[in-house]
Structure 1
Amino acid sequence: MVLKLYGWPKSTCTQRVGMALIEKGVPFEFVMVDLFKGESKTPEYLQKQPFGQVPYIDDDGFTLYESRAIARYIAEKYAAKGTPNLLPIADVRARARFEQAASVEVADFDAFAGRAVFEMVFKPMMGGKSDEAVFQDLITSLSAKLDVYDKILATQKYMAGNEISLADLFHLPYGVLLATAGSDVMQAKPNVKRWFDDLTSRPSWQAVKDGVKSTVNV
C-alpha cells in the first residue's frame, strides 16, 4: 500500500513532510484536505488528527501527525534510501548534534519566523489586520538569532555539521515565506544567505514550493 499524505498543498507543515518524502525517494499519494471547507474539523478527520490540523500520514494503516515527527519517521524508516543521514542513526554524537540543531529550529527560528509570517501573510487571509509593529519586533528578534546562525555557519556547511539534515530542511517553508511577508532577513547575513540559497535550490523544495502533489499515479 502506497503511503498517503493528507494535507493542504501549500501549508508549511505539509510542505515539510513532502520534502522529507521526496528527499528519501518515497512514493506517496497526496490526499487534499480542504481547510476552507472545514474538512480538517470533521469527526472522521479528527479520529486521525485530533487537533484538526494538517498534515497526517497513513502508512499502510499506521497513522502519524505532526510534521517534524513524520519527517523523522520517514528518515528513519527509509534510512537506506535517498539522501543519506537526514536523521543520523548510527553515531550517537551525530544524532545529538542533529537534535541540537532541530531544537534550535523550533525555539530560535520557528518561534519568530512562524509568528512573523502569520502576522503579515496568514492573518489577512483569515480576515484580520496585520500589525506592522508586531511584525518588525519579531523580525528584529529573529535577526538577532540569525546573527548566531551566521557564526555557526561560518565554520560548517549546515546546522548540524557538514551534511544536510532534516534540521536544515525544517527551516524552508517559513524561511521562504518571510520574503512574502516583507522581510529580507534570510538574505542579510552572508553565511545564512549561502546556506539558505543552497536549501531553496534543492529539488525537494522545488517540487513542493508551489504545492505538494502525489508522486504516484492515483
Structure 2
Amino acid sequence: MAIKVHGSRISTCVGRVIACLEEKGVEYEVVPVDYVTSEHKQQPFLSLNPFGQVPAFEDGDLTLFESRAITRYVSRKYKDIGTDLLRLNNLAESAIVDAWMEAEAHQFNGPMKVLIYQFFIRPFHHLALEEQEVETNSEKLGKVLEIYEERLSKYKYLAGDYFTLADLHHIPFIFYLFKTPKAYLITSRPHVNAWWNDISSRPSSIKISEGFDKENSFLKGNQ
C-alpha cells in the first residue's frame, strides 16, 4: 500500500512531510481534506488524527500524526536511501541534528506561526492585522535568526556541513514569510539568506513551493 498523506498542500505541516518524502525518493499520495466542510474535525478523519489537524499519515497499517514525528519516522525507515536526514550512523552528528530540530520547534516555530497567522489567516477571515502582535513576534524571530546567523557563519547548514531535517523543517514557513513585508528578517542576514537560497532551491523545496502557489487561497486573498 502506498504512503498516504492526508491534508492540503497549502499546509506548512503537510509541506514538511512532502519535502521529507521527496528527499527520500519515496512514492506517496496526497489525499485532499476539505477544510470548508471541516472534514478534518469529523470521522473518519479523526480516527487518523484525533486532534483534528493535518497531516494524518498512513503507511500500511501504521497511522501517524504530527509532522515532525512523521518526518522522523520516514527518515528512519528509509535511512539507506535518499538524503541522510538524521545522520543515524554517527551518534554525535545525530545528536546535533536533534538539538537544532528542537530549536526549530521551540524557538523558531512560535513567532513564525504568529506572523503567518497575522498575514494570511486573519485577512482570509476579513480580520485586521494586529500590528503589535506582528512587531512583537518579528522581534522575537529576529533574535532567533541572529543565533542562526552566528551558527551559519561557521557551517553550511544548521547541524553541520550537511542538509538534514534540522534545515528541512524550516522550509514551509519561510516560503510563506517571503510573501510578507517581513522577508527582510531573512534577507538582511547574509549567512541566513545564503542558507535559505541553498535549501529553497532543492527539488523537494521547489515541489512544495509549487503546491503552495497552486492551491493557496490564503495567498490569493492577501494580494
Which bracket does the TM-score occupy, shorter chain normalised?
Answer: over 0.9
| Alignment partner, residue 216 of structure 1 | none
Alignment map for 1:51-200 (pairs within 5 Å): 51-83=51-83, 85-183=84-182, 184-200=184-200
Distance in 1 (alpha carbons) for counterparts of 2:208 and 2:146? 28
| Alignment partner, residue 42 of structure 2 | 42
Q: Which amino acid aligns with 1:140?
A: E
1:145-202 Cα distance to aligned partner (Å, 9 max, x none)? 1111101000001101111101101001111211223212111100000001101101
Residue pair 1:150, 1:189 contacting (<8 A) in 2 also:
yes
Identity of paired residues, percent? 34
Distance in 2 (alpha carbons) for counterparts of 1:209 and 1:34? 20
Q: CA deviation at 1:88?
A: 1.8
Distance in 2 (alpha carbons) for counterparts of 1:38 and 1:8? 13
Q: Which amino acid aligns with 1:10?
A: I
Where 1:209 maps in the other structure, the secondary structure is helix
Residue pair 2:8, 2:30 contacting (<8 A) in 1 also:
no
Which 10-residue stretch deviates more, 21-30 or 175-184?
175-184
Where 2:179 maps in the other structure, the secondary structure is helix
Distance in 1 (alpha carbons) for counterparts of 2:208 and 2:147? 29
**What TM-score comes out, normalization by structure 1 length?**
0.93
| Alignment partner, residue 219 of structure 2 | none
| Alignment partner, residue 23 of structure 2 | 23
Distance in 2 (alpha carbons) for counterparts of 1:53 and 1:138? 24
Residue pair 2:172, 2:208 contacting (<8 A) in 1 also:
no
1:30-61 Cα distance to aligned partner (Å, 9 max, x none)? 10011122110112111110010000111012
Which 10-residue stretch deviates more, 114-123 or 67-76?
114-123
Residue pair 1:86, 1:166 contacting (<8 A) in 2 also:
yes
1:5-53 Cα distance to aligned partner (Å, 9 max, x none)? 1111210000000000000000011100111221101121111100100
2:19 is aligned with 1:14: no
Which 10-residue stretch deviates more, 174-183 or 187-196?
174-183
Distance in 2 (alpha carbons) for counterparts of 1:130 and 1:64? 34
Where 1:51 maps in the other structure, the secondary structure is coil
Q: Which amino acid aligns with 1:96?
A: A
Distance in 2 (alpha carbons) for counterparts of 1:201 and 1:120? 24
Q: Which amino acid aligns with 2:34?
A: D
Distance in 2 (alpha carbons) for counterparts of 1:36 and 1:18? 22
Distance in 2 (alpha carbons) for counterparts of 1:176 and 1:120? 13
**What TM-score comes out, normalization by structure 2 length?**
0.91
Distance in 2 (alpha carbons) for counterparts of 1:209 and 1:179? 11
Question: Which contiguous aligned blocks of 4+ residues in structure 1 show a shift greater than 6 angstroms?
Answer: none
Q: Which amino acid aligns with 2:65?
A: Y
Distance in 1 (alpha carbons) for counterparts of 2:191 and 2:169? 18
Distance in 2 (alpha carbons) for counterparts of 1:198 and 1:21? 19
Distance in 2 (alpha carbons) for counterparts of 1:150 and 1:158? 11
For the aligned residues, what is the CA RMSD?
1.4
